Amino acid sequence: MGEAAACPRERTRRVLMGSVPVGAGAPVAVQSMTTTPTSDPTATLAQIAELAAEGCEIARVAIPDAASLGGFEAICAASPLPVVADIHFDHRLAIEACRRGASGLRINPGNIGSWERVDAVIEAAGEAGIPIRIGVNAGSLAKDVEARTDLTHAEKLVESAVGFVRHFAERHFTDVVVSAKTHSALETVEVNRLLSRALPEVPLHLGVTEAGDFSQATVKNSVALGILLTEGIGDTVRVSITAPPADEVRVAWQILAAAGVRRRGPEIVSCPTCARCTIDLMALEAEVSARLREVRAPICVAVMGCEVNGPGEARAADIGIAGGHGHCLLFAGGEIIATVGQADAVDALMDEIGARFCS
C-alpha cells in the first residue's frame, strides 16, 4: 500500500477495547460474536477460546435480557479476549454491562430510545472508562434522518452516524468507534468511504451485515472489505457469516492477508487441477491446510498437481510440493530439493517447513 492509501487509518483516534488498540494506525483488529446463550458462561467461554485459537482479538457477546447479566459477568471475568457487550433497545442492560466487566459496548443509538436513555449509557461508559461502538443500520437510523426523501440510503446511514458522534462529543465522550452496516457489498464501500471523509478522526468497524451463508458471505465481505482495506479505510473488522463464529475469524484473516494488511500464518497456493493431475490434489491440499493451522510463520506454501505448474509456476512460493505418477517433488524457491513418495509427501513438506521456518 502506498503512503496516501494508509493515511485514513493512521489519522483515526486510538481507542482501547480492553488491551486491544483500535485506530491510529494500530493493526486492524479481528472480531467475532458468540452464538451460545450468554446465560451459559461455560459454553460461551468455550466458544471464545475457539475464537482466540483462530486469531480473534475481540469477542462480542449479546445481552438479550436481564437474566443474561450474571452469565455475562462470569464471561468477562474469565475471558482471554476483551468482551464487548452487544445491546439493543434496553439501555438498562447497557448500563449494567458497564458494571459487570464489559471492555466496551456496542449500541445502536437509533433503537435505544430517547436521548435521555442514550445519555445514561454514555455516562455509565464514561464512569467505567470503556469505549462505545456506535452502530447504524437500516433499522436504527436517526428518526429525523429516516424520514428524509432527499437522501439515499447510504447517505442516511452516514448522516445518522455523524449526528450520533456529534451528540456523544457534545457530552464530552469521544471514546467511540463507528459502524454503518448494510447487506450490500458496494453500498458498504460507499458508506465507509463517506464516513472516512466525514469523520476522519473516528475509528471505523467494517463488515457486511446479514451477508448470508459461507460462500456468499465470504464473497461479499471479500469485495467490500478488500476494497476499503486497500484504500486504508477500516480499523477493525467482523466478517458476518451464517456459520460457526470460528469460520468468520478464518475468513477475516484471509481477507486481511489478501489485502496486504495483516497476515497470521501461511498462505497456500494451489492449482485448480486438470486432466494432467494424477493425484487427489483436493485431499492433499486439505491435509496440508489442516497441518498448517499450527504454523504461524507468514510463508507461502504451494500444493500443485503436476510438474507443469509445480516448481516453475510456483517459483514465488517459499516452499511447496508438486505431485504426479506416484511421487511428489519437494521444492523451495523454485528449485527441486527432493523427490518423495506420495504417501510421505505431506510429512516431508512439514518437516522441511519446520526446519526452515519454525526453528
Model pLDDT, residue 358: 85
Q: What's the residue count for the chain?
A: 359
What pLDDT is stored for residue 333 in this prediction? 84
325 secondary structure, DSSP code: T
Query: Looking at the domain that runs over 3-258, which CATH code has it been given?
Result: 3.20.20.20
pTM above 0.85, yes or no: yes
pLDDT digits (tens, 9 = 90+) for 123-181: 999 999 999 999 999 888 888 898 898 999 999 999 999 999 999 999 999 999 999 99
Grid cell of 341 as nine digits? 513418495
Q: Which of 165, 57, 185, 30 is nearest to 110 (CA)?
A: 165
Which three three-digit cell numbers place residue 359? 526453528
How far is 242 from 225, CA to CA, in rounded Å? 18
Question: How many whole angstroms from its chain centre is CA 253?
Answer: 7
- Cα(332)–Cα(292) distance, rounded to whole angstroms? 17
Nearest residue to 142 via CA among 124, 122, 167, 172: 167
Give tens-digit pLDDT for 299-313: 999 998 876 667 777
The pLDDT of residue 142: 86
Rounded to whole angstroms, how far apart are CA atoms 275 and 10? 49
CA distance 197 to 178: 13
| Longest alpha-carbon distance in the chain | 73
Give percent of the chain with pLDDT exceeding 70: 97
Average pLDDT of the chain?
93
Q: Which CATH number fits domain 267-357: 3.10.20.30, 3.30.1490.20, 3.30.413.10, 3.40.50.300?
A: 3.30.413.10
Confidence of residue 4 (pLDDT cuts 50, 70, 90): very low
- Cite the residue boundaries of each domain of the chain with CATH code 3.20.20.20: 3-258
Task: Tell me how far apart the alpha carbons of residues 103 and 225 are, in angstroms, rounded to a whole number.
Answer: 25
Residue 90: band (very low, low, confident or very high) from pLDDT cuts 50, 70, 90: very high
Convert the pLDDT of each residue in 259-301 to its tens digit.
999 999 899 998 888 877 878 889 989 999 999 988 999 999 9
User: 3-7, 13-17, 84-88, 189-193: which range is least confident on average?
Assistant: 3-7
pLDDT attached to residue 214: 94
- Residue predicted with more confidence, 86 or 210: 86
Helices 153-170 & 185-198 angle (0-180, nearest 10)? 40
Q: Residue 5: pLDDT above 60?
A: no
- Are 224 and 251 in contact by the 8 Å Cβ rule? The answer is no
Tell me which of 152 and 333 has the higher pLDDT.
152
Cα 12 to Cα 145: distance, rounded to the nearest angstrom: 25
Tell which residue, 152, 139, 238, has the closest CA to residue 191: 152
Which regions of 218-299 does DSSP assign to beta strands (E)?
236-237, 267-270
- Rounded-to-integer distance, Cα 184 and Cα 191, Å: 10
Start and end residues for every CATH 3.30.413.10 domain found in the chain: 267-357
CA nearest 44: which of 77, 18, 21? 77
C-alpha cell of 83? Answer: 468482551
- Does residue 186 have a pLDDT over 90? yes
CA atoms within 13 A on the CB side of 125: 31
